[in-house]
Amino acid sequence: MSSSQSFKRYELPPLPYKIDALEPYISGQVIDVHYNGHHKGYVTNSNATLEKLEKINRGEISGYDIQGVIRNLVFNVNGHKLHSLYWQNMAPNGKGGGKPGGKLADLIATQYGSFDKFKQIFTEAMRSLPGTGWTVLYYDTETGNLEFTTFENHFMNHIAELPVVVIVDEFEHAYYLQYKNNRNSYIDAWWNVVNWDDAEKRLEKYLK
């Protein structure tokens, strides 16, 4: 086996706005710790785990725990991919919030009757998440429905390639510095930064 065999590495994508662009709803301090601390950490740890896999592959490590290695990879790779979606899914400088338009608005009207009803159920879903994880609105390509799901921690039993339309990080690191243990206040604030243009762009990609 050639020792030149290797895995390509993950890269931290640039934050699509300035660190304080979501204020006052999400503070610059929260985004700084979240992006430069946590997200960067998931990328670093994904790549460290790939390096370990390379060494295992080359027979340079004996007595490894392959289940632990894979679990580590899933946690960190999903952490990276979910955060990459989360940043894009919020809009800077007061351009977020309001109501969606386009096909997303049509689907919401068809399935939920009104945006207010949709928002109520989405909020209830977010508030119901036990502990640490994510609430996600996704497009089900089988039914053509917009459906909700939650991911506990970063584990989805597969890598994050679900047709995500809207995604909300509910880890404590996403709000604690600003909202302490009042997660519902973070959820209410998040409705002011949700990026409906990004959601529409994602949905239209899945509809094709």
Residues that bind Mn ion (CB under 5 A): 169, 171
Query: Is the CB of 23 or the CB of 169 nearer to Mn ion?
Result: 169
Residues 6+ apart with CB under 8 A from 40: 12
Query: Is the CB of 57 or the CB of 185 nearer to Mn ion?
Result: 185
Token couple for 168: 């909300």
Query: Is the CB of 53 or the CB of 193 nearer to Mn ion?
Result: 193
Query: Is the CB of 12 or the CB of 105 nearer to Mn ion?
Result: 12
β-pair partners for 135: 150, 168
How far apart are CB 179 and Mn ion at their closest, in Å?
14
Token couple for 41: 């950490």
How far apart are CB 107 and Mn ion at their closest, in Å?
27
Contact 132, 171 (CB under 8 A): yes
β-pair partners for 71: none
Strands 133-139 and 164-169: antiparallel
- Which H or E run includes 135? strand 133-139
How far apart are CB 133 and Mn ion at their closest, in Å?
10
How far apart are CB 82 and Mn ion at their closest, in Å?
7
